[in-house]
Chain A
């Protein structure tokens, strides 16, 4: 199904998914607790996940 991936490629995608799927929750709870630094941390985490998807998907 789709292009064949190496083990490293799959690990990168799995990491990308993990970051994309958790980053927004970090941001959400940071907004709820008014923690500016964690809002940025959550957004950065999501962006790194997206960057990995852009480079490896």
Chain B
């Protein structure tokens, strides 16, 4: 059993090792771990050639979903960069407050969380990464902060898809699950705010930002909790992010956070520069309405049916009628492309575009996205081969058996593992939601708390999930340096995970 567990660990361990130690690009490390996963699945985990082939195809479908967003996000960034809109936005943020830490918290913590609420699926990272670089943050740090700052808002973000997935797979009562999740995610909210401050300016910035983070984090956590308690799951993150942005807006008026000394930017110019992002927000809100999304979702979509597959060790992947449906008209990538088109029209009307801009940014985007796309496909296909051959589940099961009564402390890390493997909180909840519920029942601890801990881990895992990290590095001129971003973020992810898991453990003790 231990031998199999260690074998199951090898592809993940190799991926991390190759990206962090010899600093291989994620495409190269992903390809290497794919070969390892393929050989292990076939030789040790009883996967036949059909299972492996279908797992690769499922991985490809998921990879196409993410890659489309990467291409659209980079195109939008190149448009904003080429027209000078990024520089205008940076000047606007700097004019709002002269306090650099408050600027970073506004963009990299509250605004990115608000975006996670309305868009999700990597869009917040794709939008906020370039904004942070325009504020003078180094590309690697910008990618790290964008990933870190939005993580706490993922479960109730993108219209609460991750939370609703957890409800579906566990069958637990939604209000109870929502409240426990909101408590743990609230702790994560404050912790990510402090981490963003620390990542930006070390201990000094964290201490300086402590009162602001405590006040805003407390308000955002409370807002999310209240909205979750009122069963308004789909707007819980959005509302919390809005409250955070509004509080920073109010704080910037106080003498302590004096206005910027730099050149003043008229509101008109700021909003023109911001227009594609405003359009993106409007489009995201529009497609979240069911009467808009339903007809659009079914209009043009790409999905494939998959038959049941099983390994010779007894692991079963149930048949699915349509796997990873890509609805072209409501896909986040399409929304970003539409926003880019609106931005292009606005910029052209305001004479911000130079001749040949369309060809230039398309060529630049294609050149920049080649490697990140390969990286995404390699890593997602590796994950799917592992998932479908039962390797990922075996990893989690081994950890659970080893932890015994201390399992609640481990539960968050199972969620993190799931997100790392699948690239999303929803994927993590799908994979491990029922497993956490059953383990809780077996151990006689509160199942709501453990499932809340699962989704909190799934949310936190977003800051290190390779598929999301690639989005961050692609838009901050740090492509190919995903290993360094993961290396930076993993300590924050584990530290915050430890805090929330200890909180979950204490809750289970109190509720015995």
Contacts from A to B (Cβ < 8 Å): 1-3, 10, 13-14, 16-17, 20-21, 23-25, 27-28, 30-31, 39-40, 42-43, 46-47, 50-51, 53-54, 57
Measured in the bound complex, the distance between the Cα atoms of B53 and A8 in whole Å is 30
11 A/B residue pairs, CB under 8 Å, sorted by A: A16-B374, A17-B370, A24-B57, A25-B57, A30-B53, A31-B53, A53-B28, A53-B378, A54-B32, A57-B25, A57-B28
Q: Which residue of A is nearest B309, CB measured?
A: A31
- Hey, which chain B residues are within 8 Å of A39, CB to CB? 49-50, 53
Report the count of interface residues on B (CB-CB < 8 A).
Answer: 36
Q: Which residue of A is nearest B53, CB measured?
A: A27
Write the nearest CB–CB distance from B310 to chain A, whole angstroms.
Answer: 14
Contact A31 B56 (CB under 8 A): no
CB-contact partner of A53 in B54, B59, B374, under 8 A? B374
Write the nearest CB–CB distance from A28 to chain B, whole angstroms.
Answer: 4
CB-contact partner of A2 in B378, B381, B479, under 8 A? B479
A24-B57, A46-B381, A57-B31 are known; give 9 further A-B pairs, CB within 8 A. A17-B373, A21-B60, A31-B54, A39-B53, A43-B53, A47-B38, A50-B34, A53-B31, A54-B35
Measured in the bound complex, the distance between the Cα atoms of B57 and A31 in whole Å is 11
Measured in the bound complex, the distance between the Cα atoms of B474 and A51 in whole Å is 23
- Hey, which chain A residues are within 8 Å of B38, CB to CB? 47
Measured in the bound complex, the distance between the Cα atoms of B373 and A14 in whole Å is 10
Contacts between the two chains (Cβ within 8 Å), count: 90
With A13-B374, A43-B49 given, is the CB distance from A50 to B31 under 8 Å? yes
Measured in the bound complex, the distance between the Cα atoms of B34 and A1 in whole Å is 25
Write the nearest CB–CB distance from A40 to chain B, whole angstroms.
Answer: 7
Measured in the bound complex, the distance between the Cα atoms of B382 and A54 in whole Å is 14
Write the nearest CB–CB distance from B199 to chain A, whole angstroms.
Answer: 22
Q: Mark B46-75, 1 if CB is under 8 A from A, else 0.
A: 000110111011011000100000000000
- Hey, which chain B residues are within 8 Å of A43, CB to CB? 49, 52-53, 56
Contacts from B to A (Cβ < 8 Å): 25, 27-28, 30-32, 34-35, 38, 49-50, 52-54, 56-57, 59-60, 64, 304, 367-368, 370-371, 373-375, 377-378, 381, 474, 477-481
- Hey, which chain A residues are within 8 Å of B377, CB to CB? 17, 20-21
CB-contact partner of A28 in B54, B477, B479, under 8 A? B54
Measured in the bound complex, the distance between the Cα atoms of B309 and A31 in whole Å is 12
Write the nearest CB–CB distance from A23 to chain B, whole angstroms.
Answer: 7
Contact A31 B31 (CB under 8 A): no
- Hey, which chain A residues are within 8 Å of B64, CB to CB? 21
- Hey, which chain B residues are within 8 Å of A25, CB to CB? 57, 60
Contact A24 B28 (CB under 8 A): no
Contact B57 A14 (CB under 8 A): no
Measured in the bound complex, the distance between the Cα atoms of B306 and A27 in whole Å is 12
- Hey, which chain A residues are within 8 Å of B304, CB to CB? 28
CB-contact partner of A50 in B52, B60, B378, B479, under 8 A? B378
- Hey, which chain A residues are within 8 Å of B27, CB to CB? 53, 57
Contact A51 B49 (CB under 8 A): no
Measured in the bound complex, the distance between the Cα atoms of B478 and A16 in whole Å is 21
Measured in the bound complex, the distance between the Cα atoms of B71 and A17 in whole Å is 14
Write the nearest CB–CB distance from A25 to chain B, whole angstroms.
Answer: 7
Write the nearest CB–CB distance from B128 to chain A, whole angstroms.
Answer: 17
For the complex of A and B, 9 pairs with smallest distance between CB atoms: A2-B480, A57-B27, A27-B53, A2-B479, A53-B31, A24-B57, A54-B31, A24-B56, A28-B57
Contact B31 A24 (CB under 8 A): no
- Hey, which chain B residues are within 8 Å of A28, CB to CB? 53-54, 57, 304
Contact A24 B25 (CB under 8 A): no
- Hey, which chain B residues are within 8 Å of A23, CB to CB? 56
- Hey, which chain A residues are within 8 Å of B478, CB to CB? 1-2
